[in-house]
Amino acid sequence: MGFLDTAPKLGQPVRISLPSIAGPAVITDGEVPAFQLLVDGAWRGADAGDVFDVRSPIDGSVIATAAKAGEDDVLAAIDAAKRARTTFRQLPAAARLEICSDAAEVLGQHLDDFADIIVADLGKTPEQARTEVKATKERLGLAREEVRKIFGEYLPGDWIGDTKGKEGIVLREPVGTVAAFGPFNYPLFLAASKIIPALAAGNTVVAKAPSDDPLALVLFARVLEEAGLPDGVLNLITGSGGQIGGLLAEHDDISMISFTGSSGVGYRIAQAASPKPLHLELGGNAAAIICGDADLELAVGRTLVGAFKNAGQRCDAVSRVLAEESVYDDYVARAVTEAEQWVVGDPRAEGVKVGPLVNPDAAETVQRLVADAVDKGAKVLLGGEVEAAYHQPTVLVDVPLDAEIIWEETFGPVLAVARVTDLDAALEVANGSRYGLDSAVFTRSLEQAWKAAHALECGMVHVNDAPAHGVGHFPFGGHKPHSGIGREGLGYSIDECTRVKTVVLPT
């Protein structure tokens, strides 16, 4: 008997319901819907006719097929994006913003359909899926705020001898064509957060949908079409990243790479893309430090959200908790009690808070990290089992510092708790990771909060809360190579998608 026999039972077989705008993007005359590529304004299959199955991690069933793009399809998409550059760049910025605004309206009209597709395709709970769609709609609406960050600059020349009699105007222009790679864990929002600022800045885009769950992004391209985006400006391809990602990265007509995903894949893309501009959001290994004076009720609640939300499949998830000796036992006892409320099972069932991971291999990877920690002396106080794509929410305590889970990205629902003597010891462990994306510190002391904030080697520090990036009002990104380069966020994403040109004029 597996743990799923005692969890909320799997419901009806997973099926997807298409929004009315799906139209030409999906062929519906087969056993399951067949999702197409978007190249130069035309929805079509792959040149070679290849497709791949899209399976729901909820029950492993095939819910759709998607076109498996090959080299010819990628080259056609890149060529279309290149040819569309001039006319799209000439489109007034106000018109580009109007497209984003109209797209927000269209997406809002189909919010429930998009949420249902994310539930089926990734296994998120309906609440989490709706939150993702709402955040995407909000990001479209905030494009108007982003473009306010596209500043030029005037530089008088008479301050320096060799520029006397001249003046400089510094312009920000679109880079050209952006290749946008979206990850599986937020299949709509994170890819859209690359596409939206790229379009707002006047770039064309070739977007690669995540292979495990491509459906929402394909339909998002339809949303932008309905909002009036011209043909060829956005091209959407689906297929194996291993087969087509390198071609996208290295092609001379791709001007910039924007990628969110694993450190290993990010490194390979960076190598292929060199010396193109890169925005890479890679791995995370967020430490949550629990100081001796922390509000433990708050710390427990927020760290469990940080570890278990979205089944732990978040780059900003709490990967390890470093609790000071004086509060360690109390924190652990409270965490176990609270974690029992995080029910795992079919995400469509009432009361379920943790659905499956993206696929069974991902669940097994998490289980290997848990087993390694146990082999080295850690104890499982709750959960710890895996079945199919489901991994139980797990509380792992007394985790030794030589356990792999202390240093690697977990990407699963595990609260790994290690004991430290004081804040200085916690900071040493936190900074020992090769990752540097997010961290958190729980304390009532402003002095300790500031000490941790200054000392932690990461791109974002959260005080008395779990890491979260939201729609990007606060900028985020990595401080160490394994966590990437560049910054996401309103305005900051626009900066990544523009380049500086200096015009020197005689006075």
Return the exposure string of 240-260: e unless at least 16 CB atoms fall within 10 Å of the residue's CB, then b.
ebeebbbbbbebeebbbbbbb
Instruction: Quote the Cα angle for 254-259-263, to 5°.
Output: 130
Least confident range of 6-10, 311-315, 473-477:
6-10
* β-pair type (256-260, 278-281): parallel
Q: Render pLDDT for 323-343 as a digit per residue (tens, 0 to 9).
A: 999 999 999 999 999 999 999
Sorting pLDDT into bands at 50, 70 and 90, what band is 11?
low
Give the residue numbers annotated as catalytic, written as ranges.
Answer: 281, 315
CA separation for the pair 421, 142 (Å, rounded): 44
pLDDT score of 150 more than 80: no
CATH class of 286-477: alpha beta
pLDDT (tens digit, 9 = 90+) per residue, 226-252? 999 999 999 999 999 888 999 999 999
Dist. CA 398–CA 401, nearest whole Å: 9
Q: Look up the CATH number of domain 3-282+488-500.
A: 3.40.605.10
User: Which residue type is seen at 181?
Assistant: F
| Stretch 165-186: mean pLDDT | 96
pLDDT of residue 4 exceeding 90, the answer is: no
Per residue in 334-368, pLDDT tens? 999 999 999 999 999 999 999 999 999 999 999 99
Per-residue pLDDT band at 6 (split at 50, 70, 90): low
pLDDT of residue 280: 95
Provide the residue type at 347 as one letter.
Answer: P
- Is 1 a residue whose pLDDT tops 60? no
Mean of per-residue pLDDT scores for the chain: 95
Q: Which helix (H) or strand (E) holds 144?
A: helix 143-147
Q: How much is the pLDDT for 145?
A: 81
Position 144 scores a pLDDT of 85
Whether the link from the prior residue into 356 is cis, omega within 30° of 0, is no
Chain-centroid distance, C-alpha 410: 15
Band of residue 8 on the pLDDT scale cut at 50, 70, 90: low
Average pLDDT over residues 140-155: 84
**455, 497 Cβ separation under 8 angstroms:** no
Residue spans per domain, the chain: 3-282+488-500, 286-477
The mean per-residue pLDDT over the stretch 433-440 comes to 98
> 388: helix, coil or strand?
coil
Core vs surface per residue 36-49: b (16+ CB within 10 A) or e: bbbbbeebebbbee
The three-class DSSP label of residue 173 is: strand
Measuring CA to CA, how many Å separate 430 from each of 290, 410, 437, 459, 484?
12, 15, 11, 13, 17
Instruction: Spell 145-177 as b/e; 16+ CB within 10 A means b.
Output: ebbebbeeeeeebeeeeeeeeeeeeeebebbbb
Q: pTM of this prediction?
A: 0.95
13 pLDDT tier (thresholds 50, 70, 90): confident
Mean pLDDT of 157-162: 92
